Amino acid sequence: MARLRNIYALPCIDGCRQTKVTSAGFGRPRVIVGITGQYYLFSSRLCCKVCKKRWYADNPQWLEKLPKRFTNLLPAVLTYKKAICKSVLDELRRTGKSPTDMANQVIEMMHLKYERANLAYLLTCQSVLDSEAGTYGQKSITGFIRKETQPAPFCDYDDIDGWNGLCVSAHYLTDCLLHEYQRQKEAITKLLKLTFGQAFRSDHVHVWHYVIICHHERTLDGHK
């Protein structure tokens, strides 16, 4: 991701005319769920010197005030409580799956990564115990220093202080997909009019959008 430079005049979240927005420290981490796993997005804490208002940089209300050339760089769709990577929405649009099937696919992938990490942890612990027992030809000194021979148990999937795995619901995917379509509705409509309804070769979702939009406009004109 790109970082905004200090020369950019950032807008105030309350819409102050003469704004002077500065950084007010580090923000909060927000977990993002993607196709290949989950990652964290750190946002700064901002402050307006005029109205003394403080907010986080990942606030959706403030992100709407930024130019689209900045918001398009964000790899995720941010809401007030959750966030999801745009790769999930792209895959949902490309494959034409239902939100329920896509949510099950993401959850299955997340649990698969958790099981692989658990297996890697157990294999590492077993390798350390074998090294202390002299399986590889020479005993290590850690076997004489460490008092506990039983390794610590691996945390659960939903442990907040441990793995902290997330679950994605179909209802949330539907809301994010509709929100993303409303945000790009003008650009998608213009693109479809130029390409006669075929935006992408593998896209079978947006093929009929141009026909639906034209039919909707004619219906409104007929009612008038």
CA–CA gap between residue 50 and residue 223 (Å, rounded): 49
Q: What are phi and psi of 4, to 5 degrees?
A: -70, 135
CA neighbours within 13 Å on the CB side: how many for 141?
A: 0
Six-digit token string for 95: 């494959």
Alpha helices in 24-98 (DSSP H): 60-63, 68-71, 86-95
- At 55-104, the pLDDT tens digits run 888 888 888 888 877 777 888 888 777 788 888 888 887 888 888 898 89
- Which amino acid is present at 128? V
Contact 46, 57 (CB under 8 A): yes
- At 173-189, the pLDDT tens digits run 888 888 777 877 787 77
pLDDT at position 195:
58
Q: What are phi and psi of 170, to 5 degrees?
A: -70, -35
Q: Give, to the nearest 10 degrees, the angle between helix 86-95 and helix 170-183.
A: 90
Six-digit token string for 191: 């693109």
CA neighbours within 13 Å on the CB side: how many for 120?
A: 6
pLDDT at position 165:
79
Low-confidence residues in the chain, pLDDT < 50: 1-2, 199, 201-202, 206-213, 215-216, 220, 224
